């Protein structure tokens, strides 16, 4: 028997990992295109062009990628623990709530 609360929490954690990965990938995709097409990277977020180091932006992108993969891995671990869990079955009879049988 599984613990549905952990399965649901793991699913939410995995979803958060994909959201973080998707948002950061869209922010840093412009630097990958600039580096491959032109060799130089520029930041346009302030309204004017300012040169930035492509290597620094790639390192930031890989850190966010590692963060999102780590969050997804934690979510997968929580789901596995929820599927294999036995916490619902190991409750002592004097700790149970609800109507008494007998």
Residue 101: inside a domain: no
Contact at 8 Å (CB) between 89 and 1?
yes
Residue 98: inside a domain: no
Residue pLDDT, tens place only, 10-19: 999 999 999 9
Residue 68: inside a domain: yes
Domain that holds residue 53: 4-89
Residue pLDDT, tens place only, 23-60: 988 888 888 888 888 888 888 888 888 899 989 989 99
Question: What pTM value is reported for the model?
Answer: 0.74
**Domains contained in the chain, number:** 1
Residue 99: inside a domain: no
Q: CA quadruple 28, 29, 30, 33: dihedral positive or negative?
A: positive
């Amino acid at each position: 028997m599984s613990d549905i609360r952990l399965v649901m929490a793991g699913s939410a954690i995995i979803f958060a990992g994909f959201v973080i990965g998707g948002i950061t990938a869209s922010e840093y995709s412009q630097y990958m295109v600039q580096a491959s097409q032109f060799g130089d990277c520029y930041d346009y977020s302030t309204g004017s062009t300012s040169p930035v180091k492509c290597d620094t932006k790639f390192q930031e992108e890989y850190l966010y990628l590692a963060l999102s993969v780590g969050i997804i891995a934690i979510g997968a671990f929580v789901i596995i623990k929820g599927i294999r869990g036995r916490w619902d079955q190991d409750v002592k009879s004097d700790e149970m709530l609800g109507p008494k049988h007998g």
